[in-house]
Amino acid sequence: MMEAQQSVPEESAHPVPAPPRRERVFLQKSSVCSRSYFMVVMVFFHVYIINVIALLLYVHYNNGQGELGGARGGENSGRAPFDPPPHQGPEPRSRSERLMYLPRIEGIRVGHVQKVSLVPDRLHEMRTLSLKPLLFEIPGFLSEEECRLVVQLAQLKGLTESQVMVPEGQEELAEQLDLSPEEIFNLLDLNQDGQLQLQEILTQSRVRDGIWLTPENLREIYTGLKADPDGDGLLSLAEFKQLSSNAFQRFLQQRGVQSSQLVRNSRHTWLYQGEGAHHVLRELQKRVTRLTRLPPQLVELSEPLQVVRYEQGGHYHAHHDSGPVYPETACTHTRLAANSSTPFETSCRYITVLFYLNSVEGGGETTFPVADNRTYEEMSLIQNDVDLLDTRKNCDKGNLRVTPTKGTAVLWYNYLSDGKGWVGELDEYSLHGGCVVTRGTKWIANNWINVDPDYERQVRYQQLVSQAHSTASERSKPNADPHGDAHQDL
């Protein structure tokens, strides 16, 4: 505009009296002139507006920022959480199809340190602990004061046992599925060798019953039930058929189960972080959004903060925070948007952010027994002499252990990328557990970022929530948190 005011065009610089040529312009075109100029102005004006809108739309969609993700998040606005990754495949999805992308933090190599901006006036250091899973440690993520407050809020709310002794509903489910003994045997026989190894029974019983049997326990049960007459530690189909479906459970109930024999031995509670929550919890959520660089709405629609207390002797045997992705898998958090019901439901926790709320006096490390292993073999995790899943016995034999330090956060991805900017397969290397606390108490908190591996379902869910939000915007508490108190504790 400066230019327009200062530049001197040739023709209009002629002084008046005007020459004949000008006369014509003045006399004949006075009214026509104004109209035609008006027309020109309007045409330019419209073209201008249309072009600006078109370009804004282009910029908007070029950045992959659609209506789904909400506002650009946080300080890292140079490149936003919505930027799609470079296309891997030859068939890039059209922009209108995919408006939301999940950037992943680069690990580079074990030991790599990068600076991250999470709070004003300070940079945090983020160290890569492993690439499989993609795992980072951020010391000083929480201040001492914030740790203290989160623990107090949890105590105020009250904690409940993380696992009850005997799970219910298993028998009904088994009856519902109506499987023959042969079919069950086949499902249990992971390596399909026609026999059930100790590992196969253990893997199953731990997941199903939540009771942490050791190989010795199992041999003892075999003896008690006379289940393995030939004593080779293997169950043939014939031997398996002799057992009733809940023989193990009934045996264990008679014998009695201690909390140290459970998969997890802790108490926990959930703290809501949405609108109206304590400002420290709100701030924590914002910090997690900045750390993960994910669309803020994704973080806001995830599970509340889980605060966990392990007493002396507490543990959590090695497990995955989320389940594998099958075509029929449904996610707990997007249940609203599911078209059909399915018996396979998992919590779809894309990322785990674990906070240490105190420094533990003894034990209580977080172990990643197979981190950065070259291969992952489920069967070989449980050997007769060393059961790598057992965090009461074999934490020292795992590949990686993180010592709990007050205020430190660790972050890892439970799923791989699908190579197109979305969630792919479960990362089996994300197997982890809480080592037994040998002295003192251990306080941690977990933030799980829930993402549905089914992109369309996640989008549908977010649309449903934002609709519910806008229709319920007058009410005191918007229906943005569909989790309530029902969480799948994996």
Residue 293 identity (one-letter amino acid): R
**Of 271 and 431, which has the nearer Cβ to a second copy?**
431
Closer Cβ to a second copy, 62 or 384, answer by number:
62
Roughly what angle, to the nearest 10 degrees, separates helices 247-255 and 198-209?
70
Q: Which stretch binds a second copy (CB under 8 A): 81-89, 216-224, 297-305, 405-413?
A: 81-89
Residue 37 C-beta: closest distance to a second copy, Å: 3
Asked if 360 and 440 touch (Cβ cutoff 8 Å), the reply is: yes
Binds a second copy by CB under 8 A, chosen from 67, 106, 171, 232: 106
Closer residue to a second copy, CB minimum distance, 79 or 469? 79
Task: Name residues contacting a second copy, limited to 121-150 (CB under 8 A).
Answer: 123, 131-132
The single residue among 20, 21, 31, 180 that binds a second copy, judged by CB under 8 A, is 31
Q: For residues 222 and 422, which CB has a smaller minimum distance to a second copy in the complex?
A: 422
User: Where does this chain touch a second copy (CB under 8 A) — which range of 29-37, 165-173, 335-343, 442-450?
Assistant: 29-37
CA of 76: how far to CAs of 82, 116, 195, 466, in Å?
A: 11, 9, 55, 25
Q: Which residues contact 342 (CB under 8 A, 6 or more apart)?
A: 328, 329, 330
Residue 120 binds a second copy (CB under 8 A): no
Six-digit token string for 479:
């229906």
Binding mask 365-384 for a second copy (x = CB under 8 A): -------xxx----------
Stretch that binds a second copy, among 248-256, 330-338, 423-431, 473-481 (CB under 8 A): 423-431
Binding segment toward a second copy, per CB under 8 A, in 58-66, 170-178, 220-228, 461-469? 58-66
Q: Is 283 in the site for a second copy (CB under 8 A)?
A: no
Q: Per-residue string for binding with a second copy, 237-276, x by CB under 8 A?
A: ----------------------------------------
57 counts as binding a second copy under rule CB under 8 A: no
Please give the Cα distance from 231 to 227 (Å, whole number): 9
Judged by CB under 8 A, the residue of 19, 20, 21, 78 near a second copy is 78
Our finding on whether 23 is near a second copy (CB under 8 A) is: no
Per CB under 8 A, which of residues 382..421 are in contact with a second copy?
399, 416-419
- Min CB(115)–a second copy separation in Å: 5
Q: Residue 37 or 161: which CB sits closer to a second copy? A: 37
164 binds a second copy (CB under 8 A): no
- Minimum CB–partner distance for residue 431 and a second copy (Å): 15
Please tell me whether residue 66 binds a second copy under the rule CB under 8 A: no
Q: Under rule CB under 8 A, how many of the chain's residues touch a second copy?
A: 82
Q: What span, in angstroms and rounded, lies between the C-alpha atoms of 289 and 285?
A: 6
Nearer to a second copy, 242 or 399 (CB): 399
Among 19, 20, 89, 343, binds a second copy (CB under 8 A): 89
Minimum CB distance to a second copy, residue 403 (Å)? 19
Residue 344 in contact with a second copy, rule: CB under 8 A = no
